[in-house]
Amino acid sequence: MDKELEITVYGAEVLCPSCVNLPSSKETYEWLEAALTRKFINQAFKVTYVDIFNPPEDSLKKEFAQRVIDEDMFYPVVKIKDEIVGEGNPKLKTIYAEMEKYGFKQM
């Protein structure tokens, strides 16, 4: 691993219309960050939250946030590099497997 891997969680304050009984995007982001920190101890990654209705100036994040809106994706959407690894109710097992592709080792 050359540098820190970024796991990006795209979501919004308002719950996804199809995700009414699920945690909010922000809650999912916090849960995911805690779970990954426990599983991949002292490894170079960060979890970033992007509000799809108020994205940062980063053009790639802004473009993908717009795509989430335009394509009516179930959010939160979890993305690692160019791969969508979770949508609506992301599964840890899927995210772990994707991280392992980049050399991360579960502890």
Sheet with 77-80, edge to edge strand ranges: 45-51, 5-11, 77-80, 83-87
Structure tokens at 19: 């995700």
The pTM assigned to this predicted structure is: 0.92
CATH numbers and ranges of domains, the chain: 5-101 (3.40.30.30)
Q: How far apart are CA 45 and CA 30, in angstroms?
A: 15
| pLDDT at residue 2, as a whole number | 56
| pLDDT at residue 22, as a whole number | 80
Q: How far apart are CA 24 and CA 100, in angstroms?
A: 26
For the cut 90, the answer to whether the pLDDT of residue 99 exceeds it is yes
Q: What is the pLDDT of residues 11-54, one digit of tens each?
A: 998 776 666 778 889 999 999 999 999 999 999 999 999 999 99
Alpha carbon of residue 86 to chain centroid: 7
| pLDDT at residue 3, as a whole number | 74
